[in-house]
Structure 1
Amino acid sequence: MSTVASAPGARRTGGASVLSPAILRPALVESVVKLDPRIQFRNPVMLVVELGAVVTTGIWLAQATGLSDGDQPAWFAATVAIWLWLTVVFGNLAEALAEGRGKAQADALRAMRTDTVARLADGGTRPASALRPGDRVVVDAGETIPGDGTVVEGIASVDESAITGESAPVIREAGGDRSAVTGGTRVLSDRIVVEITQEPGGSFLDRMIALVEGAARRRTPNEVALGILLAGLSLVFLVVVATLRPFVDFAGSGVSTVTLVALLVALIPTTIGALLSAIGIAGMDRLVRRNVLALSGRAVEASGDVDVLLLDKTGTITFGNRRATAFLPVAGVTERELAEAAMLASLADGTPEGRSVVDLARDGHGLDPSAAGAQRAGVEAIPFTAETRMSGVDLPGTGPDEPTRELRKGAGDAVVARVGDLGGTVPDELRRLLDGVAQEGGTPLAVADGARVLGVVHLKDVVKPGMRERFDRLRAMGIRTIMVTGDNRITAARIAEEAGVDDVLAEATPERKLELIREQQRGGRLVAMTGDGTNDAPALAQADVGVAMSSGTQAAREAGNMVDLDSDPTKLIEIVEVGKQLLITRGALTTFSIANDVAKYFAILPAIFATAWATRPGDDGPLASLNVMDLGTPSSAIVSAIVFNAIVIPLLVPIALRGVAYRPVGATALLRRNLLVYGLGGLIAPFIGIKLIDLVVHGVLGA
């Protein structure tokens, strides 16, 4: 399989400006290519505009060649035709620019793909492109992993920067939830055996390229529904304009076919029709630039409507491992003495918890392991084992009269048993300290120097900084958060209160997670969750938005409808914000499109009927009051409306691609802002724009 060479930051190229020549030039060409009616057929609104452009062009050509005199001068038909064509081109350009950013990302990935040679575990070699599911390959340090798969033997440090853009290596090992590897990433240390899981041409990288190019993007249900609405409006206005011909003939207003076509284009929602596809593509692109691969367009849209978030406690709300937070000495022992003993006893403890004890002693008390005698000759480190449940160190005395110190740190009952075996006495205070830490939801570790008890180290889950603020933001969005953990209820309740989540599911099993999601969905709520293990797969598949970690198991990645390439569980919050921004952008520009049609009515309708019932020559007629913008002539009014209708599309392209700024406020506040900014703005801007264009058309050209 073709894979991508390691290149930190490779996927950042998609952030290029849409005005850069590399994106703009191909988009201009593509906007002309998309004039093909077979392509426009997918967008009924713009198809109507293109048909109108064909009709007005035909009328102009007939006038220019003398086949027809027409009801209005040839320049009028030519001007309307040109701007109708530009309206379609501008709509195509919006879509092409959105696609262009994705293609820039895809080209960057494709340019770095190389066909590697895989070493099979049973001997021999095979090109990566010829690997099949079930093949086992050996990858040593410095070599590129030839295809997507699962580590079945060994443990190694892997550079995934070519995919995630992050330079920090990650650990991949057999038999756990961190066993999935991606083709194109590079092994930095050790040796692993990988079982290939990808089908030919179906690697993770291939899916990324297809996604960012837009080839795999399907229109979401909401987008389809809005498209049907726009098509229905276009059909209604087409019938209205077609039946208007007998009325204008009866009124004797002398309205031409070109004017009726201009009226039709002004009536239908061309602005949102032109930008709708670009908004959807840009939403997907924003997720990709956040290193999230959406395997379903519906999932992107659903993320904007999520009501409930299920978040795993460990690694999401809290740090991945419990950390030492306090030293609790017994009577007669100073806190510094306990900290020094616990630090030395933890030097041989390679677990994250053991390292956190050393960090707390160093940062909280300024202790240095080397200065405390850890480098002394004859020191024997006692590593932590599952059998002893303790770690420690034996420090020989500095003189013949100083005995060896046997420092131990570990589970309370294990240390108590050792102290008893050595003939020591366990004070009641130790038991009170052990029970107190446990009741607070923490993990107590006892520390002893030989037969003498020193005190307790308090380990606990530490909530990540800023989590309460994040959950406050989600609550402001109207989203309920539920923490999911396998901890007991006491521990879970304490963490939930500290983090600020709305609810908690303690002692969670795969079955309980699944039932919780189904219960929420039966209540009409949309549920999102994140996970990385095989036990998360059922819940990920059931959730409306299931975000699997790229570092997780193959089962989790296949069950979810999104994959987070950074394997950052808190990314779920960003995904929700991107989804809401997509929906808000679509709603805002739809509001603007419908609102700015009002000004076009006041431009074109007076031009058609203002003089229809004039009682004498030169009289403006009773409907002249409709000309609230005081436009120069019927011809300049129609041309001004059509010109504004065209140029507003490229002016709104940056908003469609960037998205409307989203703030976590309630639905009522969002609706109010939408109406004030885009509704009122869409109502006022065309009056100003059409009037300014009319001043140019009527004043300068004398039309």
Structure 2
Amino acid sequence: MNTTTVLPPRTESEPAPKRVKAPAKLSISAVSAALPVALKKLSPRQMAHSPVMFTVLLGAAVCTVVAVLAPSVFSIAVTLWLWLTVLFGTLSEAIAEGRGKAQAASLRAGRTSVLARKVLLDGGRAPAVMADLAGAEFVQLAATDLAVGDVVVCSAGDTIPSDGEIIAGLASVDESTITGESAPVIRESGGDRSSVTGGTKVLSDQILVRITAAPGQTFIDRMIRLVEGATRQKTPNEIALNVLLVSLTIVFVIVVMALAPMASLADAVPSPIVLVALLVCLIPTTIGALVPAIGIAGMDRLVQHNVLATSGRAVETAGDVDTLLLDKTGTITFGNRRAVGFFPVPGVSGSDLVEAARLSSLADETPEGRSIVELAEHRGVYEPSLEFLESRARVGEVELQAIEFTASTRMSGLDLVQNGIRREIRKGAASAVERHVAEAGFELPEAARAEVQRIAESGGTPLLVAENGRPLGVVELADVVKPGMRERFEQLRTMGIRTIMITGDNKVTAAAIAAEAGVDDFVAEATPEDKLAVIKREQDAGHLVAMTGDGTNDAPALAAADVGVAMNSGTPAAKEAANMVDLDSDPTKLIDVVGIGKQLLITRGSLTTFSVANDVAKYFAIVPALFAAAFPGLGLLNIMGLSSPNTAILSAVIFNALIIIVLVPLALKGVKYRAVTAGQALARNLLIYGVGGLIAPFIGIKIIDLLISLIPGLN
């Protein structure tokens, strides 16, 4: 065994590679880069996965043989456009896959040449605390040689070699390689923020990490495969759609085969080129070509929101969710208690209380302390600043000492001597400040006691403020509902989604927050078992349930939910149980995930409607012109007045190919989702994509017919 001493923390290193977002718009460079991939996808083995496009491929092959044996301008033109139809179909999928290439390249760059320091103690046992490193051996090896269960030490400047869980220590970590955000985050052992991801970088301190992922199965490996579309499997809805498309294709194959004997009765048997072209125009080639691109683009949109899904099925299920379970803390509310009010005791002005509370919080870097300063400034109290007081202290004009909060005193504050006047301002827990007041020879007024009692019973946190031992009043801290939550829940209600808030608060507090946020229901004093029970109850009632979580105790509920979104900062158990992981660790992301899922379903439904309507329109555009000579009665249906049967067929084939390319940007971007009822969504879908699909072919085919009728040898 090669043993070394502990490697010193690196003070200089290359900056972590930033995750590259996929381009938002379709560009010429994206098309040119996807073209070689599209050509490779023309392989019959790959085309067989899409029966509709495989039928077009066979038709193009048949027409190629006919065009070689009996060449003509018409047969060559039709054959060329049939091959372009197949190519455009594979190109749409290749473009969708190519949107993740830049992301994958940047993610791979973050994993190159990463070394790990594996830690061993005597007897081969792994360390459990930092103190164990004193008698440890260190083996330097490549990150790819690590196994599940190995323990590595990571110091400031190190790249974390693989996915793992912190078992000792605390560190600031740069996760920009996976989240795209440059702001560092704190990761520590023993809580719900103990998980670390391979490829991220330690910025300060030192941590012990137990490896939880085998080589090739790390979070970044899975993300690379996702953004490249390499592991995408067809979802149940996609499989059902393919069955429908195959059924329609079979029906039209039979219809077109029946046209030949029917036409023979009038001595007008169409050529194989005409029959194949007619078949291709009538089967649902548009949606058949775009289905893979729609699915891949849906997964890509999820990645763009920094959410990793284990399967496309999870994305689709999110679109069908009708019940959302949300934790109160950090999701509906800010999670950190914030100052919401100042309540002076009788005989003390409100301005005096606000000023004293602000001064006592200037050096308080806790979220609660900062919120008191913010609320005071909102009330118009801005001066003096801590920087001003410190500058005066440096020149001896004032004496200044910040009193930090400790577990024993449960108070913090400020000692300030200015112009010979000494001010000892304290704020803290009501019981602690009350003792401080009593020791100074003062009594807490009954009005202050009543206010403390009221705030506590409502679920808030009361802080007492005193100056030189004299009580000034009470500051109320509360877990504040995030702005805009009521509006977002109203949108979900419009979409037919019921929201349930889960909280450990008592029923009175839970009811107040539920009413303020606008959720449909709540569960108070909830345990992990209660979460699981709620999910089972909703599922037994026929609902699809989504929820978020980050702790080991959330794992059972995340696994039971139809859509479980785990926080990336959470425990490995939570991430393994969920079918989605939010890289930003933002619990409110669940609402966006539902919107992305619905957008995927709406996009597929809208383009399917457009495709079917297209085929109906092309039928009435082509068949009358094709058989009007043999069956004069059909001439009444030739409302487009196409130049000739040949130009009618070729115009339809060209339009059929071009409409695929025209719709690729929409398939990649997705149809815009609006929070409306199912009936309104259906009406809008039929109006825009149904009626549009009927009208577009008449206009497009007529314009193309006017242009190609000028080509000699076609009429």
> TM-score under structure 1 normalisation?
0.92
Task: Give the Cα separation in 1 of the matches to 2:573 and 2:605.
Answer: 36
Q: Which residue of 1 aligns with 2:484?
A: 466
Q: Which residue of 1 aligns with 2:253?
A: 238
Aligned-partner SS, 1:215: coil
Q: How far has the Cα of 1:570 moved from its partner?
A: 1.7
- The alignment of Structure 1 onto Structure 2 pairs a total of residues equal to 679
Q: How far has the Cα of 1:388 moved from its partner?
A: 3.6
Deviations along 1:155-181, one digit per CA (max 9) or x if unpaired, are 111111111111111111111111111
Task: Give the Cα separation in 1 of the matches to 2:584 and 2:603.
Answer: 26
The amino acid that maps onto 1:572 is: L
Aligned-partner SS, 1:663: coil
Task: Give the Cα separation in 1 of the matches to 2:672 and 2:688.
Answer: 12
Work out whether residues 378 and 395 of structure 1, in 8 Å CA contact, stay in contact via their aligned partners in 2: yes
Task: Give the Cα separation in 1 of the matches to 2:260 and 2:14.
Answer: 65
Q: Which residue of 2 aligns with 1:662?
A: 673
Work out whether residues 581 and 660 of structure 1, in 8 Å CA contact, stay in contact via their aligned partners in 2: yes
Q: How far has the Cα of 1:107 moved from its partner?
A: 2.1
Are 1:256 and 2:271 matched, yes or no? yes
Correspondence 1:391-470 to 2 at 5 A? 391-394=412-415, 399=420, 406-470=424-488
Correspondence 1:176-191 to 2 at 5 A? 176-191=191-206
Task: Give the Cα separation in 1 of the matches to 2:578 and 2:28.
Answer: 35
Q: Which residue of 1 aligns with 2:8?
A: none
Deviations along 1:282-301, one digit per CA (max 9) or x if unpaired, are 11111111111111211111
Task: Give the Cα separation in 1 of the matches to 2:559 and 2:446.
Answer: 51
Which of 552, 561, 569 aligns to 2:587? It is 569
Are 1:383 and 2:404 matched, yes or no? yes
Q: How far has the Cα of 1:110 moved from its partner?
A: 2.1
Task: Give the Cα separation in 2 of the matches to 1:495 and 1:593.
Answer: 47
Q: Which residue of 1 aligns with 2:66?
A: 59
Between stretches 265-274 and 466-475, larger displacement belongs to 466-475
Task: Give the Cα separation in 2 of the matches to 1:261 and 1:137.
Answer: 64
Are 1:675 and 2:686 matched, yes or no? yes
Are 1:287 and 2:302 matched, yes or no? yes
Work out whether residues 340 and 372 of structure 1, in 8 Å CA contact, stay in contact via their aligned partners in 2: no
Q: How far has the Cα of 1:323 moved from its partner?
A: 0.8
The amino acid that maps onto 2:563 is: V
Q: Which residue of 1 aligns with 2:382?
A: 366
Q: 1:669 to 1:8 in 2, by over 3 A?
A: farther
Correspondence 1:133-532 to 2 at 5 A? 133-346=148-361, 349-364=364-379, 365-368=381-384, 370=386, 375=393, 381-394=402-415, 399=420, 406-532=424-550
Task: Give the Cα separation in 2 of the matches to 1:362 and 1:46.
Answer: 65
Work out whether residues 261 and 269 of structure 2, in 8 Å CA contact, stay in contact via their aligned partners in 1: no
Task: Give the Cα separation in 2 of the matches to 1:106 and 1:328.
Answer: 55
Are 1:630 and 2:634 matched, yes or no? no
Work out whether residues 8 and 165 of structure 1, in 8 Å CA contact, stay in contact via their aligned partners in 2: no
Work out whether residues 141 and 191 of structure 1, in 8 Å CA contact, stay in contact via their aligned partners in 2: yes
Task: Give the Cα separation in 2 of the matches to 1:224 and 1:247.
Answer: 35
Work out whether residues 11 and 108 of structure 1, in 8 Å CA contact, stay in contact via their aligned partners in 2: yes
Give unmatched runs, 5+ long, in structure 1. 65-73, 614-620
Task: Give the Cα separation in 1 of the matches to 2:508 and 2:227.
Answer: 45
Deviations along 1:186-235, one digit per CA (max 9) or x if unpaired, are 11111111111111111111111111111111111101110111011111
The amino acid that maps onto 2:62 is: V
Task: Give the Cα separation in 2 of the matches to 1:596 and 1:362.
Answer: 62
The amino acid that maps onto 2:411 is: M
Q: Which residue of 2 aligns with 1:116?
A: 114
The amino acid that maps onto 2:152 is: V
Q: Which residue of 1 aligns with 2:54?
A: 47
Give unmatched runs, 5+ long, in structure 2. 1-12, 120-135
Q: Which residue of 2 aligns with 1:70?
A: none
Between stretches 234-243 and 38-47, larger displacement belongs to 234-243
Work out whether residues 323 and 543 of structure 2, in 8 Å CA contact, stay in contact via their aligned partners in 1: yes
The amino acid that maps onto 1:527 is: V
Q: How far has the Cα of 1:429 moved from its partner?
A: 0.7
Q: Which residue of 2 aligns with 1:97?
A: 95
Work out whether residues 6 and 160 of structure 1, in 8 Å CA contact, stay in contact via their aligned partners in 2: no
Q: 1:636 to 1:397 in 2, by over 3 A?
A: closer
Between stretches 176-185 and 343-352, larger displacement belongs to 343-352
Q: How far has the Cα of 1:347 moved from its partner?
A: 5.4
Task: Give the Cα separation in 2 of the matches to 1:414 and 1:564.
Answer: 40
The amino acid that maps onto 1:475 is: R
Deviations along 1:40-80, one digit per CA (max 9) or x if unpaired, are 1000001111111111111121214xxxxxxxxx3322222
Deviations along 1:325-355, one digit per CA (max 9) or x if unpaired, are 2221101112232233334444565532233
Work out whether residues 25 and 665 of structure 2, in 8 Å CA contact, stay in contact via their aligned partners in 1: no
Task: Give the Cα separation in 1 of the matches to 2:156 and 2:484.
Answer: 38
Task: Give the Cα separation in 2 of the matches to 1:47 and 1:277.
Answer: 14
Are 1:77 and 2:75 matched, yes or no? yes
Aligned-partner SS, 1:228: helix
> TM-score under structure 2 normalisation?
0.90
Aligned-partner SS, 2:20: helix
Which of 600, 607, 612 aligns to 2:618? It is 600
Are 1:640 and 2:655 matched, yes or no? no
Deviations along 1:609-652, one digit per CA (max 9) or x if unpaired, are 32224xxxxxxx22221212111111111111111111111011
Task: Give the Cα separation in 2 of the matches to 1:160 and 1:339.
Answer: 39
Work out whether residues 260 and 269 of structure 2, in 8 Å CA contact, stay in contact via their aligned partners in 1: no
The amino acid that maps onto 2:657 is: A
Task: Give the Cα separation in 2 of the matches to 1:56 and 1:357.
Answer: 78
Q: 1:360 to 1:58 in 2, by over 3 A?
A: same
The amino acid that maps onto 1:225 is: A
Q: How far has the Cα of 1:379 moved from its partner?
A: 5.6
Q: Which residue of 2 aligns with 1:10?
A: 19
* Seq. identity, %: 60
Task: Give the Cα separation in 1 of the matches to 2:70 and 2:362.
Answer: 93
Work out whether residues 152 and 195 of structure 1, in 8 Å CA contact, stay in contact via their aligned partners in 2: yes
Q: How far has the Cα of 1:393 moved from its partner?
A: 4.5
Work out whether residues 441 and 494 of structure 1, in 8 Å CA contact, stay in contact via their aligned partners in 2: no
Between stretches 248-257 and 131-140, larger displacement belongs to 248-257
Q: Which residue of 2 aligns with 1:616?
A: none
Q: How far has the Cα of 1:380 moved from its partner?
A: 5.5
Q: Which residue of 2 aligns with 1:36?
A: 43
Task: Give the Cα separation in 2 of the matches to 1:550 and 1:80.
Answer: 53
Task: Give the Cα separation in 2 of the matches to 1:348 and 1:694.
Answer: 78
Work out whether residues 15 and 289 of structure 1, in 8 Å CA contact, stay in contact via their aligned partners in 2: no
The amino acid that maps onto 1:553 is: T
Q: Which residue of 2 aligns with 1:71?
A: none
Task: Give the Cα separation in 2 of the matches to 1:463 and 1:204.
Answer: 33
Aligned-partner SS, 1:314: helix
The amino acid that maps onto 2:700 is: G
Q: How far has the Cα of 1:6 moved from its partner?
A: 4.9
Q: Which residue of 2 aligns with 1:68?
A: none
